[in-house]
Amino acid sequence: MSKHEKIGPEVESSLINADAQVESFRQTRNNRRTELVEDYVELIADLIEDGGEARQVDIAQRLGVAQPTVAKMLKRLISEGYIQQRRYRGIFLTEAGQKLAELCRERHHIVESFLCSIGVSPETARIDAEGMEHHASAETLEAFKAFLARATPPRRVAGQA
Amino acid sequence: MSKHEKIGPEVESSLINADAQVESFRQTRNNRRTELVEDYVELIADLIEDGGEARQVDIAQRLGVAQPTVAKMLKRLISEGYIQQRRYRGIFLTEAGQKLAELCRERHHIVESFLCSIGVSPETARIDAEGMEHHASAETLEAFKAFLARATPPRRVAGQA
DNA sequence: ATTGAAAAATAGCCTTGGCTATACTATCTC
DNA sequence: GAGATAGTATAGCCAAGGCTATTTTTCAAT
């Protein structure tokens, strides 16, 4: 810590291991950097599936941002290899983009379903899932899935004992 | 949508109501703006409780950022009325700051406990909670709390058949 | 083929939240 | 009380992700 060292037993009130906490915050900051990319890719996949194409204006409208903001972001997506773009033409997902979109969709769906399953209303689940999905680690997602499987015995077809 | 209107029945593949989606994204963007404030206030409260004071260097070390970054952020916290600062002296939480810290801590604790209760390991729960807590609405928190109450029958009181 | 509207590109600005480097106080020690 | 040192303040940089205003291109319709 600071000047007056305090290396003692540590009261451990709410202060956990410092290094661990740093890691949490670091991870959260990193997640934030990739959140937008994921949102874009997921949305683009949805738009293409739904209407055969994803235009900047539609993306902008869906995200609630201005078109130039989308244009700038698309450049980033291109440089990161998730989409391809032909000037004044459409946007296409690359292999990597499709893979990422698939992942995001599944994750999104798991989180949203999970929230619903514990009694959150669909509208709130949608909103909260939008924010939470990017912070759910693989382990947490597995736990969600396991819970869903337990809590939603579809009939009893996919028998689990 | 774009030029070719498409106002029909909408396949509704993955595309939900546009306005609703815009709201989700807007909300998520807004959350991001307050996340940092909350992390700071929560951490400052912890540091004060633990060591009697919260120094910039300690905050910086805990968050994994540089000291000037903290200094800049503290100015924002001051302007938003969460802390007070005496030049070259300590940092103190205002009434509002303490209230916010309390809220964050509780929320944080609920999310972390909840994750643990569904089988997520403590370390992962800590990391994920750090990112998720800011996106959990009041309703979702209530659901988490209710679940915890159900899932953690202090003895066997709240029997479930 | 022209033209006019819609979409995309571009220019240029702002704010936030990072950083380094450096200057300034306080405080502890001698 | 004079220095050294630790902590804080400040200056100035950068990248990301917003915005508005404007230009360029495409496309559809005449």
DSSP states along A5-30: ---SS---SS---HHHHHHHHHHHHH
Q: Nearest CA to A101 among A148, A58, A54?
A: A54
Amino acid at position B16, single letter? I
Q: Nearest CA to A109 among A130, A80, A90?
A: A130
Helix (H, G, I), strand (E, B) or coil at B81: coil
| Whether CATH 1.10.10.10 fits A19-151 | yes
pLDDT at site A12? 44
- For strand C, is any atom closer than 7 Å to the CB of A25? no
User: pLDDT for A18-65, tens place per residue?
Assistant: 888 898 898 888 888 899 999 999 999 999 998 889 999 999 999 999
Pair A44, A29: CB distance under 8 Å = no
Question: Smallest Cβ distance to B126: which of A20, A123, A136?
Answer: A20
Computed from CA positions of residues A153, A155, A156, A160, in that sequence, does the dihedral angle turn out positive or negative?
A: negative
pLDDT at site B152? 73
pLDDT at site B11? 41
Can you give the pTM of this predicted structure?
A: 0.84
Average pLDDT over residues B136-161: 80
Mutation for testing the B interface, residue in A118, A142, A148 having most B CBs under 10 Å: A118
User: pLDDT for B45-96, tens place per residue?
Assistant: 999 998 889 999 999 999 999 999 999 999 999 999 999 999 888 899 999 9
The class (CATH top level) of B18-151 is mainly alpha
pLDDT at site A13? 54
Query: Six-digit token pair at A33?
Result: 């950097």
Q: Nearest CA to B115 among B124, B102, B103, B104?
A: B124
Q: DSSP letter at B92?
A: E
Look-up of token digits 């909103």: A127
User: Which residues in chain B have Cβ-Cβ distances shorter than 8 Å to A151?
Assistant: none
Query: Six-digit token pair at A152?
Result: 């939603």
CB–CB contact A128 B135 (8 Å): yes
**Residues in chain A where the model's pLDDT stays below 50:** 1-12, 159-161
pLDDT at site B161? 44
CB–CB contact B2 A121 (8 Å): no
User: pLDDT for B4-57, tens place per residue?
Assistant: 433 333 344 566 677 888 988 988 888 888 999 999 999 999 999 988 899 999
Torsion of CA B48, A30, A133, B134, to 10 degrees: 20
pLDDT at site B139? 97
What string of DSSP letters covers A79-145?
Answer: HTTSEEE-TTS-EEE-HHHHHHHHHHHHHHHHHHHHHHHTT--HHHHHHHHHHHGGG--HHHHHHHH
User: Which residues in chain A have Cβ-Cβ distances shorter than 8 Å to B139?
Assistant: 120-121, 124
Helix (H, G, I), strand (E, B) or coil at B84: strand
